[in-house]
Structure formats: C-alpha cells, structure tokens
Amino acid sequence: MERTARWIVVGFLLAMGGASAAAAAGSAAPLTVRVAPWGPSAEMVEAARRKVASSPLIRRLIGKAEVYLVSFEILDNPSAKEGKSLPPNRYRGALVDSTHNRAFLAEGTFGANDLRVWETDVQPEPDEREFERAVAIVGEDPKLGPALRNGQLVPYRPMPPLAGGDLPVGAINRTVTVGLSPLSPEASHEIVGVDMIRRAVVRYPERAPETSRANGTTCGVPNAGQATTARGTAGQVSISILKGGETIWSFLAIRPAASSGTRASGLELRDVFYRGKKVLARAHAPILNVHYDGDACGPYRDWQWQEGNFVARGRDVLSGVRALTAPPETILDNDADNGSFRGLAYYANEDTVTLASEMEAGWYRYISYWIFGDNGTIKPRFGFDGVSDSCICAIHHHNVYWRFDFDVVTPQNNQISLVSGGTPQVQTAEARQLRSPGQTWLVRNTVSGEAYSIVPGLHDGTADSYAKGDLWLLLFKTGAELDDGVNCTSCGSTTSIQIDNFVGPEALTSASNVVVWYGAHFDHDVDAEENHDLLGPDLVPIGW
C-alpha cells in the first residue's frame, strides 16, 4: 500500500463498533474544533529562560566561567490533584560550564523570584545552539575546516548527540558529536566529537564514536537540515471538538516541545472527555528506543521534544498550533524532510479530528498522531522514518510505549480484563504481558458499566528480549511512575524500558485506579518491500 493511501486509511476510516446509537446516527455536519491557550504563555517562558541564563545567583555560584543554557523544560504543577490537571507553574533549566566542565540545574516558578540552583552529574543533552557552537569549532579545525567552509562537507545532527553522554559530568570532557556528510568525491563521511572544554575536534579510528557508524553507504530520505523547536517552548492548549453545536470531545493537548517526562513524551493528552464522561486522565508516550541487529549501532533511548518541520497547510490559531485545511504531510507521506511548520497541527472532517506532529532525534524522524472519531474511538498512532545516514541501512527495531492513565467515568472503580476468544478474564494483579492474535483488553467502570476496549493494531508486533513487553497492567501511583527515569541516549541495555519494577504485589480490584502501558514494535529494514510505518491500538468505547 502506498504511504499516501495508508494515511487515508488510518486518518479517515473509523470503525463504528462500540459507539452509542446516538453517535452512530449523528448528523453529517462536519466536526469543528475550538482551541484556547492553557498554561504558561510564550512571554512567561521566555522571561524564565532569560532568568535562568543570566541569574546573579548562577553567576555567584559559577563565577567568571563561560556558561550557557542547553535545556529548558516546563514542569507539571506539583499542586495538581488526582483527576484534574492544573496549568504548569514551574520550570527547570540545565546549564553547562564550559570552563570547568560542570553542569548545573536551575528550577523556579513562573512569575516568581524563587530560583534554586544546584550542580548535577547527569549530562544534559545538547540543544541546537550548542550543536551550532560545535559546528563552528569544526570550522576552525585545520584539516576539516576548509572542507566544511567550501561546502564539501555538510554538518548534520547524528546519534548519539554526546560522546560519553552516559558518563557522569566531569568523567570526560563534554563532547558534542557532529556528523559530516560529503558532497564531493574529495570528502568522506565522518562523525567527529567536539570537545567543548578544549574547543578541539576529536576524530575516531572507525570514523565514528562507539555505538555509531559512518561509511560510504547511506540510506534514508535526504536530510534537509532545517531548524527545530527547542524543549520548553510554550504550546499547551484546551481543545473542544463539536458536532452540530454539541461538544463531542474535550481535552488538553500539549505539543512535544512542552510535553512531560524525563525525555518528553510526544503529543500529550490530559483530561480526555467523550460526551461529557471522562476517558483518560493522561495519554502520552514517555519511552521510545531503538536497537539494531548485531549491535550495528546503538542501542539508543530517544527523546521526544525536538520538533521537526512538516507540511501543514492552514492558519495558525496560536503560536505553534495550526488549523489545517488539508491533511498534514509528514516525511511518511511525501518522502521529504522539510516543511514550514513545527508544533501541533489538527485537521477536521465529517467524522474525525486528527492531531499531528513530527519530531527529530538525530537521524530519526518520528510522527505522533491522535485521531478522534465522533463515535468515541481514539486512535493513537506513531510513525517511524530516518534521514540519510549509515546506521539507517542496518536492520533496526523501534519500540514506542504509550502510557494510558484510564479514568473511565471516574478515576476509581476501573477494572481491567483480558479478552481472549470473546471471554473476558478479570486481571487481579499487576503484570507484564505479551500479545497473542485476537486478544483485546477491556477497562470497565464496575459501578456505571461504561468501558473502553484496547484493540491492538495489526502490525504492532510482539516484544523481543530487548523490548521486554507489550502491555503492563498497573495501579496508578500519585505523582510517580510517569516514566522510568532513564536519561541517557547511549547507555547499553539501560536504554531498554525499565518499568518492570513498577509491577508489584498490589492487587487490581473492581475499585482500582488503573494505568496501562502499551508497546508497539516497528522493524525498519530499508531493503524490505513494505514497511508498516504507522503503529498503535484503537481505543473503542463500549456502552457509552
């Protein structure tokens, strides 16, 4: 099936099974979308960034050292109670001291004067500005600089973004990696390290750092090298979907650059209601990783805050939020690594509304969709692709893990059943599970009777030893277990999902507040005749 055709199938055809008769018999009026800002404004975020970067408190702590901001994130409101999201009111920035090879974290409250700063031994990932600093240092190198300046070599963001990024700060000099793609026969493909402390280029015997690869063979869509959106960019909105004047859906939507989690979580949803009844407290994908056959590259734990460009025809309703007049075109649709929009885009037709965003992590490109049907079906979808590089040629396996915090009608009284052969089997204990064909899972409110069925996608696969599991059935823990806390790109087996320790002796009962982690697994083989790029389950209402 062609990619464009696959988009049409996924984006526009929704099964009517499980919807109420009233929803199925709804009018032919198109769905309309209302959007309102929620959370800190762009002005508040920018003021906080400036405060972190230039605070006298930081200067007193660091002295006359050269220091720069490399990361900024918007934090969840710690006052939020179970069942109700509150706008984020805090932030955290990460700074690098390139004079003394140290790193610091600074945390404060938007609009307040309570900045707190402390030293950290966790290497913060480089942002686009630090990457540009590294490229400038390569440009000063006597051997590589001339080829870079005359266009024989073109820089690109490789994997991993840091050499030795899994080591504590200070164990080695902070070293940002820079890919160099040749545009002439006189130049060769190479990935170098840039020592940001000594301002020197590090070259490797194998032409790339450990866990990476650079040779004369490359695969993937040509890299457009466009700018990306940094973490901590404002973009949290309240969305209502209406049909014939009636509110069908209401929820909070958060762009990837503002999403929560140790390494962010793509397009994120909060407080999802269908026809006035709660479905989900939070739905996001906090864990994303990739491993290679024979360890040809990686393995890597990816991040989901760096937004890339895609084609989104329409008008901006807010900064980073665009209403579309035609379906979005990502790298999966047009085999092109470019566009003119970064952020959260949405497209409405007669019976679906699709939210879309494209993300980057080194040479990988990831697509996050949420598709809402007027019949109550939710389709989370994730797509995978890559731009020109040697590692893309090797067979590798992507794993995305959604976290669905179900509040079917109410936070409590939610019970999980495994449905196999049409027979529900109540799950009485927290567990990790693998999928078998024909299985579905049911989350039912044991008091009111409404339920949502989790129907696995046809191509979502089954976990291998690295991916570990397909589903985890867990109890909700207030303020905890939002992700596994892993914060390194290239740290061996630790890059695999680390939530097995969430599975404890607690019982799942008819009065529980439950969370379901759902994994989907994509095998990327550029020599295969067809890749099923979009993965994800259907969440289907029953008795609504």
pLDDT in tens, 414-467: 999 999 998 999 999 999 999 999 999 999 999 999 999 999 999 999 999 999
Q: Is the dihedral of CA 475, 38, 383, 309 positive or negative?
A: negative
Average pLDDT, the chain: 92
The predicted pLDDT at position 61 comes to 80
Q: Looking at residue 6, what is its pLDDT? A: 33
Picking from 76, 103, 120, the residue at the C-terminal end of a domain is 120
Alpha-carbon distance 377 to 373, whole Å? Answer: 5
The mean per-residue pLDDT over the stretch 392-398 comes to 97
- The answer on 171 and 311 residing in a single domain is no
Same structural domain, 298 and 360: yes
**Would the pLDDT of 7 be above 60?**
no
Same structural domain for residues 189 and 297?
no
Whether 216 is covered by a domain: the verdict is: no
**Helix extents (H) in 110-175:** 128-139, 145-149
pLDDT of 26: 45
How many whole angstroms separate alpha carbon 251 and alpha carbon 261? 19
**Mean pLDDT over residues 329-346, rounded?**
96
What is the structure's pLDDT at 9? 29
The CATH number of residue 330's host domain is: 2.70.98.20
The answer to which of 2-11, 371-380, 395-404, 503-512 has the lowest mean pLDDT is 2-11
Start-to-end C-alpha separation, the chain = 34
Residue 375 lies in a domain: yes
Q: Does position 74 have pLDDT exceeding 90, yes or no?
A: yes
Q: What is the pLDDT at residue 5?
A: 31
* 62 falls within a domain: yes
User: Is residue 530 predicted with pLDDT exceeding 70?
Assistant: no
pLDDT digits (tens, 9 = 90+) for 238-281: 999 999 999 999 999 999 999 999 999 999 999 999 999 999 99
Is the pLDDT score of 59 beyond 90?
Answer: no
Three-class secondary structure of residue 17 per DSSP = coil
| Residue 220 falls inside a structural domain | no
The answer to whether the beta carbons of residues 526 and 389 sit under 8 Å apart is: no
As a whole number, mean pLDDT of residues 18-33 equals 58
The residue type of 411 is P
Tokens of 72: 């900024």
| CA angle at 482 for the pair 116 and 494, rounded to the nearest 5° | 90
Same domain, 143 and 245: no
Quickly state the pLDDT bin for 154 (edges 50, 70, 90). very high
Average pLDDT over residues 205-216: 96
Say if 49 falls within a structural domain.
Answer: yes
H helices then E strands: how many in the chain? 7, 30
Residue 14: what pLDDT?
Answer: 31
Angle among Cα 495, 501, 502 to the nearest 5 degrees reads 105
Which 3 state secondary structure label does DSSP give 332? helix
Q: Among the three residues 185, 202, 219, which one is the final residue of a domain in this structure?
A: 202
Determine phi and psi for 277, rounding to 5 degrees.
Answer: -115, 140
d(C-alpha 435, C-alpha 258), whole Å: 32
* Number of residues that make up the chain: 544
Helices (H), 122-187: 128-139, 145-149
* Whether residues 7 and 68 fall in one domain: no
Q: Are residues 453 and 534 in the same domain?
A: yes
Indicate if the pLDDT at residue 177 is higher than 50. yes
pLDDT at position 4 over 90: no
Give mean pLDDT, residues 176-201: 96
Would you say residue 208 lies in a domain? Answer: no
Tell me the pLDDT band of 25, cut-offs 50, 70 and 90: very low
Residue 531 pLDDT greater than 70, yes or no: no
Q: Tell me what pLDDT residue 82 has.
A: 65
- Residues 132, 112 within the same domain: no
Q: Is residue 106 part of a domain?
A: yes
Task: Give yes or no: residues 487 and 532 share one domain.
Answer: yes
Residues 6+ apart with CB under 8 A from 156: 178, 179, 180, 181, 223, 225, 363, 387, 389
What mean pLDDT comes out for the span 528-542?
85
Residues ≥6 apart with Cβ < 8 Å to 391: 159, 212, 213, 292, 296, 297, 298, 363
pTM higher than 0.85, yes or no? yes
Kindly report, residue by residue over 273-300, the tens digit of the pLDDT.
Answer: 999 999 999 999 999 999 999 999 999 9
Which string of DSSP letters, residue by residue, matches 299-323? Answer: -EE--S--B--BB--EEEEETTEEE
pLDDT class for 525, splitting at 50, 70, 90? Answer: very high
377 lies in the same domain as 289: yes
Q: Would the pLDDT of 2 be above 50?
A: no
Q: Residue 390 domain-assigned?
A: yes
Of the two residues 482 and 57, the one the predictor is more confident about is 482
On whether both 255 and 342 belong to a single domain, the answer is yes
Range of the domain at 282: 3-30+228-542
Residues 67, 159: one domain? no
Domain tally, the chain: 3
502 HSE (CA, 13 A, CB side): 23
In the predicted model, is pLDDT for residue 10 greater than 60?
A: no
One domain for residues 532 and 414: yes
